Amino acid sequence: MKTLLTICLMVIAPLALVTTPVGAGEYPAATAPSAAAVTGEVLEVMDVDSYTYLRLKTKEGESWAAVNKAPVAKGKQVTIENVMIMKNFESKALKKTFQTILFGTLGVSGEDMASAHAGVAQAADSSLIKVPRASGPNARTVAEIVTMAAQLKDKTVQVRGKIVKYNPAIMGKTWIHLRDGSGAAADNTRDVLVTTTARAKLGDIVTVTGFVRTNKDFGSGYSYKVLIEEATLQP
């Protein structure tokens, strides 16, 4: 009798694991085998508070994916990186259960990076820029941030300047190029790239507070020796 009961439990337990849905909320509770990246054409987009859900046409067929909320257009070719495969995932926000869904991060395309980081020759006229230096112990000029990148790496800085290039909604961030009149074009010390979630507009003069990063590679051939990330903007 005890042997029969043991056999029954051995059979029932795996079935319970298979049929129990995972991820009762908007965040995955368990993982299945992962994949490095998945690329496909966006057929459908659904946004909720935290995620953007994408129905993709891939070379293997159609698949649903979820990434941190980001503006994504139908018909666009995207790559989902750091993929985690979920089975029977329930989205309460969408009132929908996905038999299989890919959670990951939205990769950057060459088209996006070209838009965000194209030469600032097409930006606002900045030939006569002269912005007073920010105040405070962490205040630096654009030229100082570029030339002192090694010493300032991962430190907080403040810099005041004019936005000469502005690209919102790329990889969930706003990408701006800032100039204050310091530095020179000849040695690439007059312009610094800043990423932020704040909103502004081309030509604004702002005080940027953020972390200096060095040797950042965004893929698609776009790498930067120095930039400011996680920045806040003040008028």
Q: Is residue 68 part of a domain?
A: yes
Give the CA distances from residue 206 to residues 161, 190, 195, in Å, rounded to whole numbers and listed in that order. 6, 16, 13
pLDDT at 86: 85
Q: Global pTM?
A: 0.55
Contact yes or no for 140/188 (Cβ under 8 A): no
pLDDT at 178: 95
Same domain for 129 and 219, yes or no, is yes
Same domain for 198 and 152, yes or no, is yes
pLDDT tens digits, the chain, 235 residues: what are they?
A: 444 444 343 433 333 333 333 333 454 544 444 556 888 999 999 988 778 899 999 998 999 998 877 778 889 888 887 788 888 888 888 889 999 998 877 776 556 666 565 544 445 555 588 999 999 899 999 999 999 999 999 999 999 999 988 887 676 788 899 999 999 989 999 999 999 989 888 899 999 999 999 998 776 556 789 999 999 999 9
Same domain for 199 and 156, yes or no, is yes
Same domain for 226 and 129, yes or no, is yes
Q: Which of 107, 128, 159 is the last residue of a domain?
A: 107
Same domain for 136 and 198, yes or no, is yes
Give the CA distances from residue 54 to residues 58, 83, 98, 198, 209, in Å, rounded to whole numbers and listed in that order. 12, 14, 12, 25, 34
pLDDT at 207: 97
Q: Is residue 92 part of a domain?
A: yes
Q: Is residue 118 part of a domain?
A: yes
Paired tokens of 196: 């932020």
Q: Which of 63, 89, 107 is the last residue of a domain?
A: 107
Same domain for 28 and 60, yes or no, is yes
Q: Is residue 15 part of a domain?
A: no
Largest distance between two CA atoms of the chain: 92
Same domain for 123 and 82, yes or no, is no
Contact yes or no for 200/233 (Cβ under 8 A): yes
Same domain for 157 and 140, yes or no, is yes
Q: Is residue 2 part of a domain?
A: no
For the CA atoms of 85, 88, 89, 92, what is the dihedral angle to 10 degrees? 170
Same domain for 87 and 127, yes or no, is no
Q: Is residue 164 part of a domain?
A: yes
The whole-angstrom separation of Cα 228 and Cα 210 is 6
Same domain for 61 and 131, yes or no, is no
Same domain for 151 and 184, yes or no, is yes
Same domain for 148 and 209, yes or no, is yes
Q: Is residue 52 part of a domain?
A: yes
Question: In which domain, by residue range, is 90 found?
Answer: 22-107
Q: Which of 107, 129, 153 is the last residue of a domain?
A: 107
Owner of token pair 């990076």: 113
Residue 175 phi/psi, 5-degree rounding, is -115, 125
The CATH number linked to 102 is 2.40.50.140
Task: Specify the number of domains making up the chain.
Answer: 2
Q: Is residue 5 part of a domain?
A: no
